[in-house]
Amino acid sequence: MKKPFVTLEQLKEIIKEHKTPFHIYDEKGIRENARRLKEAFSWNKGFREYFAVKATPNPYLLKILKEEGCGVDCSSLTELMLSEALDFKGEDIMFSSNATPPEEFKKAAELNAIINLDDYTHIDFLNGITGIPETICCRYNPGGVFTISNGIMDNPGDAKYGFTKAQMVEGYKKLMNLGAKQFGIHSFLASNTVTNEYYPILAKILFELAVELKETTGAKIKFINLSGGVGVPYKPDQQGNDILAIGEGVRKAYEEVLVPAGMGDVEIYTELGRFMLAPYGHLVATAIHEKHIYKEYIGLDACAVDLMRPAMYGSYHHITVMGKENEPCDHKYDVTGSLCENNDKFAIDRMLPKVDIGDLFVIHDTGAHGYAMGYNYNGKLKSAELLLQEDGSVQLIRRKEEPKDYFATFDFSDILKDMKYE
């Protein structure tokens, strides 16, 4: 059973000031999780988490993570600008992009961010724009399929990202000739893994690659970035990852491969988004309609604009009908939003307690890739974001969108710009 981090009584107070729908985040949970991660890799003196800004690009949340010692992983110009505004700079920032426009490389270089190149051809591209920095990273793609003991996890060979091994060797040589002094290795082989095996297996692959690159090119390997991929248990019957066990598994691979090769000073980085924040965010919505045709439907005041993953991927997000946690789940519903798209459904054939109009719904695990993936199809407006602070108070950390925001990029009518919305 998944339990919300906010109570019905708290929500009743919150909605007196902030109408649903909204995303709400748990500061206490975020901080505790960041500290567990740091503890798990405390054996590595240079360890650092670079939070994937794309997962939840909110300055208030980034500030919390900064206070917990995290850096940021950026993949666009605006993410770099947001990070700069929060005083992340230099090696606080990892810039991991692909098909990168020149102005984004320029901004990353201006901030002295660690640039993570996605392709061999980007070496000359970057050199022609800003020159090659002394510290540079390259993203590795081993190709094929990635498997662990319980089967195939993902198919890197079909992914658009990264260098081949041969390109890594030639790339390092070329980068050294262009002035690079120390290197990083980065790789992402599987998404949202709920197994303690993934990171240690990935780490061993990258550690062995690091030894080979050092031996064949003479390059100084400064860090290895294990990237993301450590997932969360979206379903209530799933067992979550044990980050302490994961950290210990990576340590064993480090001692087995890197230390004997004289590389015991290599720093370990992570680049987690989902693991860091997903469980510490809820989408809160109200049941506003019911429909009885060939199926039973409950219509919420939220829609896929607020949480795109179920519509886009068919992803499962657990739902709690607040105040009815102990009632039998003996009614089958499709839980929908109001978009003119049939895939605008938060759940299909979901067994829930009997729902009444006005019931508050908590949709779990929306703290990463939730609000961030929203859009404005049908002219729908994105919801507010709130922070449940450690002292129990609630702070508005992003207001809901208004029609004036939707019309702001039009140079069409002053009437639209001045429209009021209640």
* Catalytic residue IDs: 340
Cβ atoms of 269 and 48 within 8 Å: the answer is: yes
Q: Residue 77 in 3-state DSSP?
A: helix
Q: What are the structure tokens assigned to 295, written together? A: 């199926």
- H or E segment and range at residue 345: strand 345-352
CB count within 10 Å of CB 217 equals: 19
Cβ atoms of 140 and 162 within 8 Å: the answer is: yes
List own/partner pairs for 240-245 with CB under 8 A and 24 or more apart: 240/194, 241/193, 241/194, 241/195, 241/196, 241/275, 242/196, 243/36, 243/37, 243/40, 243/275, 244/36, 244/39, 244/40, 245/196
User: Could you tell me if residue 225 is left (phi over 0), alpha (psi between -120 and 50 degrees) or otherwise beta?
Assistant: beta
- H or E segment and range at residue 281: strand 281-292
Cβ atoms of 83 and 74 within 8 Å: the answer is: yes
Q: What are the structure tokens assigned to 296, written together? A: 């039973």
CB count within 10 Å of CB 249 equals: 20
Residue type, 222: K
Cβ atoms of 335 and 298 within 8 Å: the answer is: yes
Backbone angles phi, psi at 291, to 5 degrees: -140, 135
Cis preceding linkage at 21, omega within 30:
yes
